[in-house]
Structure 1
Amino acid sequence: MEKQMVKQIELDWSKGKIINDEFFPEDKLGRVKYATFLTKLLASQGFDKSRDDVDQKRNYVLNLNSEWGAGKTYFLKRWSEDIKDYYPVVYVDAWKKDYSDDPLMTVISSIIEQLRKQAGKDKESPEFKVPRKLIGLLKAAAPGIGRGLFKRYVGIDPVMIMNADDDNESLGEISTDENGKPIDMSFAASEAVKYLIDEHDAKSAAIESLKKSVFEWVGAVVSLKKKELPAFIFIDELDRCRPSYAVEMLETIKHIFDIKGVVFVIATDTEQLQHAVKAVYGEGFNANMYLGRFFNSRYSLKSPNLENFLEVHCDVNKLSGDYLRDLNVEVLPFNEDAKITLRNISVVLNAFTVSARTAIQIADRIVATISNMPKGSKVDILMLTILLCIKDKDSNLFDEIVSGEFERHIQNGEKDKLIYLNDFLSNYIPNIYHNSK
């Protein structure tokens, strides 16, 4: 019998959708085609019946790279919600969970809760029991317990040995038991090695037990709800977490959750994540190479068309002719259609090469400024946009302009020539664009 290929799934984001009481509007950035493509890619990597039996299930980790404010979370939430109809899915907002200080428990608790609900089971369900061996992997318990047990069985506090000087006197004070009798340090060392080996073996067994349990939870959703492998686990907002937590999350996923039949999508602003890695390992550390170890591949969301992007993220109706007439505020240049005004704003923002995040902030300030102007006011909306862009790029220049103290000269032969603001800006804006390339 011929083995089935990966299911073809077409996602539809042409209408708005409510996800966990939050409204997500229609996809105006054309992102659904990327979600459809990545679903097929990850589904085929995680599980493919056309491969040999022993190789049908694989683990795969994709890094979805996009700067803050470019629609990454919208993309991830709509994508993860829509494929729940076909696959077991877990969505983790790492930033909202980094208070836990234990990435392993963050992911495990999310997996159990979300897969249990997708399987239609209650909290007492035997299919979703937690393995007892998991307690050995708890970050909070391990350091104190390890040190205490070592001292109990070997008779020496390992921290005191590490802190001691190398001379015999200081070691002699430590290497006696509570009754003052000498301890055989070579025996103690061999016991320490034995303890570490036993601990390593026990942790390895606990990890294997955990992997088995995770796949059993996935299997419960697949069998009970007639879904397919692989399971998708989405990790969002990792770049916004505390550096130590972000790094531990990556290492947890790499070393504990490399489970066949499970694929991970880790959404980050990769540049910001590299700063987090350097904060942990040092400024001279090769963060890009380090991150490359964790991901099978990287995919970047293209920068959106700014006009469409702003239409999604700002209150564009407050730029319409009807709204401006109600306010009795005159905007130059005036356009009845708010989208034309937004297009003009976008042209200026593109000229200054501002980031998606900054574009949203500037557009919101423009709308807020117009909405709060006194009746009968007039405002040049393009000059307002230019000034806000300059404020973002060069606050000192902005202060000079708005205070009326702007003055620039160029040498023209033997005389200084005064440059007016419009001439200055005609050169300033192209230079901004050129330097950002």
Structure 2
Amino acid sequence: MTYRLPDLEIPADNPFQNDSLDREPVVKFLSKLIGRLDGPFVMAIDSPWGSGKTTLVRMLMEDLKSNEFQCIYFNAWDVDYVTDPLVSLVSSIESINRGAAVGHMKTVKKVATLLFKRSLIVGVKALTMGTLDLGEEVNAAAAELASDTVGDIVDAFNKERELLDQFRTELTLAVDQLPNEGKKPKLVFFIDELDRCRPTFTIELLERVKHLFNVKNIIFVLSIDKQQLEVSTAAVYGASINSMEYLRRFIDLEYGIPAANSRKYTESLITRFGWDTILAGSDENDWNENGRKEFIESFTLLSNVMELSLRARERCITRLRIVMDEENARDFSPHLVALLIVLRSNQPQLFKDFINGDASANTVMESILSLPKGKDLQSDSYGHLIHAHLLDVDIDHFEDNKRRLEMKSNDGGVDASERAYVDKVLATNQQRTLRVLDYLRVKERFARIAPLIDLAAMIK
């Protein structure tokens, strides 16, 4: 059973084969832009968590590689347990350690090791008051950087600067050898998941990029949620810091990812979770061509109104699969279950009030329609179906729901678009009601499904 979708496959020979978000135009635009850049340069691809940045970055990287760019992918979150990001950054550029670049890369690694040792030992010596014996070579480095006289401190600073200069020079020479390997004379370095790291690690990595990797023909592409990055900055330097201005020191250009094709994404989730196979031929669940389309449109619409991230939508579909795999849910409509799962995930109190009978279907819909994007649901041709699905199971308020909707339908003071929406809800509900022969059976079925949805919401 599929409860966790694997990472989307990005084939090297066709990066857009599984492009469920219509990202190809964005990737092609960024690819051409990067091709025109002359490093050193830092670009930030900014978008909230769960909006598909990693998939876009992987497509972009494969597209660049197909055009003979040397690319490196670095997942910062995978290594944020290390003391200094320098070691892992240098380790990740092993891919250019070949041909004429070998000698230069050896020096780069050697210098990086010395820089790491110096920073590490000074910190350890300070914490242990100099009582820790770390070996001759390392203690010598510590002595140079921890001397008491002003002259020694200046000398230590000059030695540090010389090492930094040597690091940048050798790295530049290594990148210059890329054309000898049939590559463009640029190194494109992708750093992903930076905004999920420890604040101190995040800031130190940015500092390392700025001061050590600020060399000719190296372009960094940071995948970030800038809002979270600003929070990390404030966590390190205090709330009084102007995080936005501070981050401008590191980022030369920002690009905000445009909104994805959310309908296509829903369809992709349906396919990847195997819904067509699971529900094919089930008259009870209405999973036919029309039912499938209705589900995709209504789930996409509700997700947009609720402003769910792509990751949140996947989580809701995961919970839907878990609930529908339960025997007690087999005869229940996935359209309604998905609606209730979204409601439980985003407005748990309203969900609780509805299943307990303290809030009617009309009350739930009024709350949803009052959201900033709620009017989109009212104006969409599929919006009324969401309302009708809730009416199907709100047996306790059946007459009251119907009466209130009819009053709105006959009220000349109600906006014409709202009245048209209400008329569609009433017409759809009337068609559905003709099939409901046993209200007690509906109520009993709803009593079985509601606890399952509540339990599924606990799955993260």
Paired residues for 1:31-430 under 5 Å: 31-46=23-38, 58-85=39-66, 86-111=68-93, 113-116=94-97, 119=98, 125-131=102-108, 132-138=110-116, 139-144=119-124, 148=130, 191=149, 193-223=150-180, 225-313=181-269, 315=271, 318-320=274-276, 323-325=278-280, 328=282, 330-331=284-285, 335=289, 338-374=292-328, 377-379=331-333, 381-402=334-355, 404-407=356-359, 421-430=360-369
Tell me which moved more, 381-390 or 199-208.
Answer: 381-390
What are the superposed Cα offsets for residues 260-309 of structure 1, whole Å, 9 maximum, x if unpaired? 11111000111222222222122333222221221111001112121212
Q: CA deviation at 1:145?
A: 5.8
Q: CA deviation at 1:144?
A: 3.6
User: 3-state DSSP class of the match of 1:134?
Assistant: helix
What are the superposed Cα offsets for residues 30-75 of structure 1, whole Å, 9 maximum, x if unpaired? 21222222222222221xxxxxxxxxxx311001012222221111
Q: CA deviation at 1:345?
A: 1.1
Q: Match for 1:275: what amino acid? A: V
Distance of 1:127 and 1:205 partners within structure 2? 16
Is the alpha carbon distance of 1:332 and 1:313 closer, same or farther for their aligned partners in structure 2, counting shifts above 3 Å? Answer: closer
Q: CA deviation at 1:244?
A: 0.8
RMSD of aligned Cα (Å): 3.3
Q: CA deviation at 1:252?
A: 0.9
Distance of 1:129 and 1:319 partners within structure 2? 53
User: What runs of 5+ residues in structure 2 fail to find an aligned partner?
Assistant: 1-7, 131-138, 377-460
Distance of 2:225 and 2:270 partners within structure 1? 22
Structure number with higher strand proportion: 1
What are the superposed Cα offsets for residues 333-353 of structure 1, whole Å, 9 maximum, x if unpaired? 854563542222111211222
* Conserved? CA contact 1:329–1:378, under 8 Å: no
Q: Match for 1:391: what amino acid? A: R
Q: Match for 1:262: what amino acid? A: I
User: 3-state DSSP class of the match of 2:259?
Assistant: coil
* Conserved? CA contact 1:234–1:265, under 8 Å: yes
The TM-score with structure 2 as length reference comes to 0.68
Q: Match for 1:301: what amino acid? A: I
Aligned residues: 352
The TM-score with structure 1 as length reference comes to 0.71
Q: CA deviation at 1:356?
A: 2.2
Structure number with higher helix proportion: 2
**Percentage of identical aligned residues:** 24
Q: Match for 1:201: what amino acid? A: N
Distance of 1:76 and 1:331 partners within structure 2? 38
Is the alpha carbon distance of 1:435 and 1:348 closer, same or farther for their aligned partners in structure 2, counting shifts above 3 Å? Answer: closer
Is the alpha carbon distance of 1:434 and 1:153 closer, same or farther for their aligned partners in structure 2, counting shifts above 3 Å? Answer: closer
* Conserved? CA contact 2:369–2:375, under 8 Å: no
Is the alpha carbon distance of 1:363 and 1:25 closer, same or farther for their aligned partners in structure 2, counting shifts above 3 Å? Answer: farther
Is the alpha carbon distance of 1:310 and 1:195 closer, same or farther for their aligned partners in structure 2, counting shifts above 3 Å? Answer: farther
Distance of 1:260 and 1:277 partners within structure 2? 27
* Conserved? CA contact 1:127–1:220, under 8 Å: no
What are the superposed Cα offsets for residues 81-116 of structure 1, whole Å, 9 maximum, x if unpaired? 3322412221111111212221111111111x1222
Distance of 1:376 and 1:96 partners within structure 2? 40
Q: CA deviation at 1:143?
A: 2.5
Is the alpha carbon distance of 1:207 and 1:310 closer, same or farther for their aligned partners in structure 2, counting shifts above 3 Å? Answer: farther
User: 3-state DSSP class of the match of 1:89?
Assistant: strand
Distance of 1:242 and 1:236 partners within structure 2? 14
Q: Match for 1:395: what amino acid? A: P
